[in-house]
Structure formats: C-alpha cells, structure tokens
Amino acid sequence: MKSIIVTWWAGFIGSNFLNKYVLLYPEINFINVDCLTYAGKLENISEEVKSSKNYFFEKVDIRDVDNLDKVFMKYKPTDIIHFAAESHVDNSIKNPKIFSETNVIWTQNLLDLYRKYGVVRFHQISTDEVYGDIPDSWFFLETTPINPSSPYSASKAAADMLVKAYGRTFGINYTMTRCSNNYWPNQDNEKLIPHFIDLLQNNKSVTVYGDWSNIRDWLYVEDHCDAIWEIFTQAQSWSIYNIWWNNEYTNLEITKIILKEMWKDESYIGFVSDRPGHDKRYAIDASKVKNELWREPKIKFDEWIKKTIAFYLNK
C-alpha cells in the first residue's frame, strides 16, 4: 500500500493539501509529521480527515532524527512530500540561525532516511524567493541561477541544493516546486492578508514597507496543491517546476483591496522604512508546468481574494 509522509501538515499549505487529498485517495495512507510550531494548528485539519482510516498523525520535530527514524520504521513510507519550513522573512532577519537549523537540517534528516528506508520519491516544496528579485518585464525560469536575498530564502536555497546533490550523488528520485505567495484559509496571522485584516478589525493602522511598490504574485492555495499533486505523481525524476499564475500586485494594491472590502479608507495606511535586503519584484515564467502537465489555474484572483477576506472576517 502506498504511504506518504507529509511534513508540516498543520501549517497553511500543508493543511489545505491534506484536507483535499486524504479524502480523494482513501487507498493511500497519509502520515502527518508535525511538531506543531506557532504556525501549525491541528484545527486547520478537518474533522472528516482526522477521522479517516488512511490518516495518521505523529507529533515529531523532524530535527529529532531518532524519533523521526521511529516514524519511518513504523509506517514504511513509499514517498515523502516535504512542506515543512520556517518561512517568515522578518523573523529570519531577527533570528537567522533558527532558519538554517530548521530548513536545512530538517531536509537533511529526511533525505538520509529516504536512503535508509528505500523511499520511492521525494518532493521538495520550495519558493520563488530563492531566485532573489528581478527587473520589470523579466521572468525567472527553472534554469535561472538562484540568488537569495534573506536568511529565509538562503536556507530554502540550501535545502534545494541538498535535494539536488542527493539526486546526483545518491540517485534519489526527487521532484521540486517553487511557488509564489499563497492565499486562502488557515494562513498564520503573521502573513500579510490575515495580519492586515486582524489589525483593521481592531481599528489599527497597517504599515507597508518602503515606497509600497514591492510586487508579488498571488496564488490560490488549492491551485498550488493541485499542481503539487500532478507534479509529484506524474513528473519525471529530477524535475523542477515553477508555479505562478501571473497575478502580480504591489503590496499597496493588496492593502487597498483589503481596505475596500472592509469599508475603510486609506487613512489606515502607515509608512515604515524598508526592511534590509527587501526584494523588489518576484516574477516567474510558468510555461514549463503549463506545457508539460497542462496545468492551468482554476481560480480567478479578483473573485477569490474577496472570498478570502470574507473568510477571515467571519472567523
């Protein structure tokens, strides 16, 4: 029987992935390995999934290789999907060491256990931030050299390099995805959309970095999860795919959308100095995943950003 270890399922993207695919594939065992940091909450996982016979939860810090080894011994996984990561850039500037320890050592432990237990496939969830930033009108390809700007993106780039090195040196079968900013339910309150909504609900101002012109692409989390599944199950070994749907908005534009949906004016916007090493723009060419796997986005940003805001307001 196919058994997939999925790390950090109680987090944002992982919980959305679990809530869909555990129920879609009852013939596959899904083993949720999570240490439940501040950004991981079991209530993110639906009760229907928790009661499913093909769902298992193990509270383990994957930096703890001895206890992680026991999980592998118990379940004999056939595959690994690795979501787990510290991901907040501001936090990485305040405490870089924890990001290296978490994002690099976690990946190292999983790769070593992959080899020990003869796992079939390793899927690495990465980020567009490993590329650094890019001028207007340019786009990153999967072959673009990585050029991280923050301790967070550097730790993710190091993890990606470990995966690629294990592929070349030890022949592990890996796939990798690099995505843009995700949105929809269950995102931790430190992230832009839920954080700003929380502040505005309490009649507090929101602050935007620098000159407010930093550009990000916004990706509906279910579109991301569906692309991950197709790549994990269909792509050739050693494949890397960018996931990006051309929804580019400045941080100020996103802020104004939130203000409009909450019936608040721009007097709630404040200015703060830019953070160190702040990337100006991320922009990825996603033609590879579109051409090879026929993967197109299903969700329109204009509609679902409003539904996302409504979700957090009701919550």
- CB contact at 8 A, 62 and 110: yes
What pLDDT was estimated at residue 118? 96
Q: Active site includes 43? A: no
The set of long-range contacts for 89-97, using a CB threshold of 8 Å and a minimum separation of 24, is 89/129, 89/150, 89/152, 89/153, 89/275, 90/190, 90/275, 91/152, 91/190, 92/150, 92/151, 92/152, 92/155, 93/150, 93/151, 93/275, 93/276, 93/277, 96/151
Q: Which of 55, 114, 152, 249 is catalytic?
A: 152
Query: How far does CA 80 lie from the centroid of its chain?
Result: 15
What pLDDT was estimated at residue 260? 95
Label residue 174 left, alpha or beta by phi (over 0 means left) and psi (-120 to 50 means alpha). beta
Q: Which of 34, 129, 142, 222 is catalytic?
A: 129
- CB contact at 8 A, 269 and 208: yes
What pLDDT was estimated at residue 79? 98
What pLDDT was estimated at residue 208? 79
- CB contact at 8 A, 174 and 159: no
Spatial neighbors of 5 by CB under 8 A, at least 6 apart, are 31, 33, 71, 72, 75, 77, 79, 80, 81
The set of long-range contacts for 196-203, using a CB threshold of 8 Å and a minimum separation of 24, is 196/255, 196/258, 197/258, 197/262, 197/309, 197/312, 197/313, 198/312, 200/258, 200/259, 200/262, 200/264, 200/268, 201/262, 201/313
Q: What is the distance between the alpha carbons of residues 266 and 207, in angstroms, rounded to a whole number?
A: 11
What pLDDT was estimated at residue 158? 96
Query: pLDDT below 70 — which residues of the chain?
Result: 9-10, 37-41, 87-88, 210-212, 274
Per-residue CA distances from 227 to 33, 81, 158, 267 (Å): 22, 13, 23, 39
Q: What is the pLDDT of residues 120-147, one digit of tens each?
A: 999 999 999 999 888 787 888 999 999 9
Q: Which CATH architecture has domain 3-185+218-247+282-299?
A: 3-Layer(aba) Sandwich (3.40)
What pLDDT was estimated at residue 303? 83
Q: Active site includes 129? A: yes
Residue type at 69 in one-letter notation: D
Q: Which of 34, 128, 133, 217 is catalytic?
A: 128
Tokens, residue 302: 């204009």
Q: What is the distance between the alpha carbons of residues 222 and 219, in angstroms, rounded to a whole number?
A: 9
What pLDDT was estimated at residue 165? 98
What pLDDT was estimated at residue 160? 97
Q: Active site includes 292? A: no
Residue boundaries of the structural domains of the chain = 3-185+218-247+282-299
Other beta carbons within 10 angstroms of residue 172's beta carbon come to: 21
Q: What is the distance between the alpha carbons of residues 169 and 84, in angstroms, rounded to a whole number?
A: 24
Q: What is the pLDDT of residues 166-208, one digit of tens each?
A: 999 999 999 999 998 899 888 888 888 999 999 999 999 998 7
What pLDDT was estimated at residue 179? 92
